[in-house]
């Protein structure tokens, strides 16, 4: 009986950990060819040093049941950006895809921001900037 319990404990721990580790993806814009962009509400936070809103976003294709996925997921393709909601610009921190893990540049705060042009970036700003006041500070 003890062996059964000892063997079952890791399985139960994994089962309990999985739902808590699941990302909360929120679609914010449809793209071309059935693609969609979503952001991970669980990853979104305000950077303490810059005041920028840091957001993980991922692409998906809902009709094909693909994504959005986190780094390391078989269907994970996306990036992390730091947004200045007032100035409507962004800094790319890093990107990921199934064969390339997410690698956030340590020096991203020194990069020059780029204007958040395009319908997808404007939609991202519109979706996440109203939540900036409630974002955790890290």
Residue 95, in any domain of the structure: yes
Query: What pLDDT, on the 0 to 100 scale, is given for residue 113?
Result: 98
User: Domain for residue 5, yes or no?
Assistant: no
Domain assignment of residue 42, yes or no: yes
Can you tell me the distance from the alpha carbon of 56 to that of 58, in angstroms, rounded to the nearest whole number? 7
41 Cβ neighbours under 8 A, 6+ residues apart: 23, 24, 25, 26, 131
The answer, yes or no, to whether residue 135 has pLDDT greater than 80, is yes
Establish if 34 belongs to a structural domain: yes
- For residue 108, being part of any structural domain is answered with yes
31 lies in some domain: yes
**11 domain-assigned:** no
For the stretch 55-102, pLDDT in tens is 999 999 999 989 999 999 999 999 999 999 999 999 999 999 998 999
Q: 123 - beta bridge partners?
A: none
Residue 5 or residue 126, greater confidence = 126
Cβ contacts of 92-95, under 8 Å, gap ≥ 24: 93/54
Using the structure block, give the residue that is written with the tokens 């958040």: 116
Instruction: Tell me how many domains the chain contains.
Output: 1
Q: 38 lies in which domain range?
A: 22-134
- Would you say residue 12 lies in a domain? no
Contacts of 115 (CB under 8 A, 6+ apart): 88, 89
């Amino acid at each position: 009986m003890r062996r059964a319990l000892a063997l079952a404990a890791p399985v139960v721990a994994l089962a309990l950990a999985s739902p808590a580790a699941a990302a909360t993806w929120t679609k914010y814009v449809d793209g071309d060819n059935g693609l969609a962009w979503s952001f991970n509400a669980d990853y979104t936070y305000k950077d303490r040093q810059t005041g920028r809103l840091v957001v993980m976003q991922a692409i998906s294709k809902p009709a094909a049941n693909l994504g959005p996925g986190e780094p390391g997921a078989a269907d994970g393709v996306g990036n992390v950006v730091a947004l200045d909601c007032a100035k409507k610009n962004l800094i790319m921190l890093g990107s990921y895809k199934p064969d390339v893990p997410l690698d956030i540049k340590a020096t991203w705060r020194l990069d020059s921001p780029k204007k958040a042009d395009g319908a997808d970036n404007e939609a991202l700003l519109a979706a996440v900037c109203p939540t900036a006041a409630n974002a955790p500070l890290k």
